Amino acid sequence: MALDILQGEDYCFYGTLQPTLEILMAKILALKDGLSPMMADLILDLNLIAQGLAPSCDSDEALLAAVTLPKFKLRWLRDETRKDNIKMILAAHHCSLLKAKIIKHDFFAEEENAHDEQAITVDMEICEYLKLTDMENLHDFPRIFKIFLKANTATPSSAPVERLFSIGSLILTPKRNCLTDQRFKKLLLLLYNRYFENKT
């Protein structure tokens, strides 16, 4: 079932990965006592895999992606210190968005007064967001929604290639569809060097 969730097309966000893996590990470890000795090695392998994934899965981006998904929020966490840590990370990102908005709108605002109001607003909005059980409530919290979009929207794997070919403009025309790799590289380099020649 976990594989179906992670391979889903409709609701598979980056924030789905961390909770799914943690819940899967917890369920497998709960079955550990009933497993045969041959399967004990599987548990060791799973622990090694979990340790290997820990740096990327426990990153601030992964945790933010998971907590900003209304489906998960903090429900998948058992450890209170991790919950508090994620709340602090969310509050820090939330504050940076709010601070940017305050600076943009009121240049001469008193720093101290704005900071107190900002902390209260952030805490209230995060608490309200985490309390609500409605899954469709993300649009009611615009700054959390902004964090959700930033954390859960990945760059497509084709983007670097598209950037390269956008420089290549006329190299990729039907007239030049039989270029060798070497010839293509030379033409692309010559075309790209044109931008540097104009600057000098």
pLDDT of residue 5: 73
Is pLDDT of 12 > 60?
A: yes
Angle of CA points 135, 70, 11, to nearest 5°:
85
pTM attached to this predicted model: 0.63
42-56: per-residue pLDDT in tens? 777 777 777 777 776
pLDDT of residue 103: 55
Mean pLDDT on 122-148: 82
Distance, CA of 82 to CA of 76 (rounded, Å): 11
pLDDT of residue 115: 57
To 10 degrees, the CA torsion angle through 103, 109, 115, 117? -100
Looking at every residue in the chain, the average pLDDT score rounds to: 75
**Sign of the CA dihedral with 74 first, then 20, 63, and 57 last:** positive
pLDDT of residue 166: 59
Model confidence band, residue 158 (pLDDT cutoffs 50, 70, 90): low
pLDDT of residue 169: 54
Distance, CA of 118 to CA of 144 (rounded, Å): 15
Mean pLDDT on 4-21: 78
Distance, CA of 153 to CA of 15 (rounded, Å): 10
**Sign of the CA dihedral with 4 first, then 8, 12, and 14 last:** positive
Mean pLDDT on 141-153: 86
pLDDT of residue 42: 74
Q: Domain extents for the chain?
A: 2-152, 159-199
Burial per residue of 37-66, b for 16 or more beta-carbon CB atoms within 10 angstroms, e otherwise: eeeeeeeeeeeeeeeeeeeebeeeebbbbb
Q: What amino acid occupies position 174?
A: P
Q: What amino acid occupies position 56?
A: S
Is pLDDT of 159 > 60?
A: no
Give the E-state strand segments of 12-150 in sequence order.
none
Joined tokens for residue 36: 């045969």
End-to-end CA distance of the chain: give it in Å, rounded. 60
- Residue, of 85 and 35, whose pLDDT is higher: 85
Model confidence band, residue 130 (pLDDT cutoffs 50, 70, 90): confident
pLDDT of residue 108: 56
Q: What is the DSSP letter of 70?
A: T
Mean pLDDT on 83-98: 85
pLDDT of residue 22: 84
pLDDT of residue 140: 84
